[in-house]
Amino acid sequence: MKKSIAILLLLVSLNLLLIGCNETNKDDNAPKFTFDENIQYTGFQTLPSDYTIEEATKDGYLVSKNLNIIANEELWTNFIKTSSKGKNTSIRLIKFFTSDSSNHPFYTDLFYENGSYYSFDSSAPTQEKEPYTYLLFLDGKAGNPLRDSGLIVLSNDQKLTFDQIIGAMISSNMSVIESTPKHQILMFK
């Protein structure tokens, strides 16, 4: 009898240890890396268009309003920490803008999956799977007058700079735009 209890305690302890060591995002609200037969991301198919800031916060998503994170910032910290260790993880960012009279939320699902980053935007016309190698935090000066700014982007070019991205954004010269390495802006900071 004592041997059975000891084995049971050992199994329970091992199970708790394994659960505690698993740093991937297993939250029920975490987006799932799923695709249809046309290889289009399916994570936005059942999302409400009348979602509120309060609901998104309560449901445990990363929430921003007018480009500023206002709720659940620890999710972003955990995503960065977990992905930097090479472990699969995901996060959903729900963006609200006060200038949008419909108050319609915009969803971005970000994944780190098997060594690559993937981002899907609910407002994009297609939801194709495109891998990026790097999650970059870029700082610089922008605006009029110039002020400290920052970008968080996905790219396959680790040497991409803040000035290259801003230059391409404000340029009307196609050679400047086309010379900027492919990237995807996730957030302004």
Shared domain check, 97 and 29: yes
pLDDT for residue 107 is more than 70: yes
pLDDT for residue 20 is more than 80: no
Shared domain check, 105 and 169: no
CA angle 92, 128, 58 (to 5 degrees): 10
Shared domain check, 100 and 168: no
Shared domain check, 125 and 160: no
pLDDT value of position 46: 85
Characterize the bridge pairing of strands 116-121 and 62-65: unpaired
Domain with 88 in it: 24-41+48-131
pLDDT value of position 67: 85
Is residue 87 included in any domain, yes or no?
yes
Mean pLDDT of 116-136: 95
Residues 139 and 125 sit within 8 Å (Cβ to Cβ): no
Is residue 101 included in any domain, yes or no?
yes
pLDDT value of position 76: 95
**Cα–Cα distance, 97 to 82 (Å, whole number):** 29
pLDDT tens digits for range 76-90: 999 999 999 999 999
Shared domain check, 156 and 81: no
Shared domain check, 183 and 158: yes
Say how many C-beta atoms besides its own lie within 10 A of residue 146's C-beta: 9
Shared domain check, 146 and 81: no
pLDDT tens digits for range 129-142: 999 999 999 999 99
pLDDT value of position 11: 40
Is residue 174 included in any domain, yes or no?
yes
Which phi and psi (to 5°) does residue 137 adopt?
Answer: -110, 110
pLDDT-based confidence at 104, cuts 50/70/90? confident
Shared domain check, 145 and 105: no
Stated as kind and residue range, the H or E segment containing 159 is none
pLDDT-based confidence at 111, cuts 50/70/90? very high
Who wins on pLDDT, 55 or 17? 55
Mean pLDDT of 97-126: 89
Shared domain check, 108 and 62: yes
Which of 115, 131, 147 is the endpoint of a domain? 131
Which of 86, 101, 131 is the endpoint of a domain? 131
Is residue 8 included in any domain, yes or no?
no
Residues 87 and 121 sit within 8 Å (Cβ to Cβ): no
pLDDT for residue 16 is more than 80: no
Number of domains making up the chain: 2
User: What is the sign, positive or negative, of the torsion defined by CA atoms of 81, 84, 86, 91?
Assistant: positive
% of the chain beyond a pLDDT of 70:
83
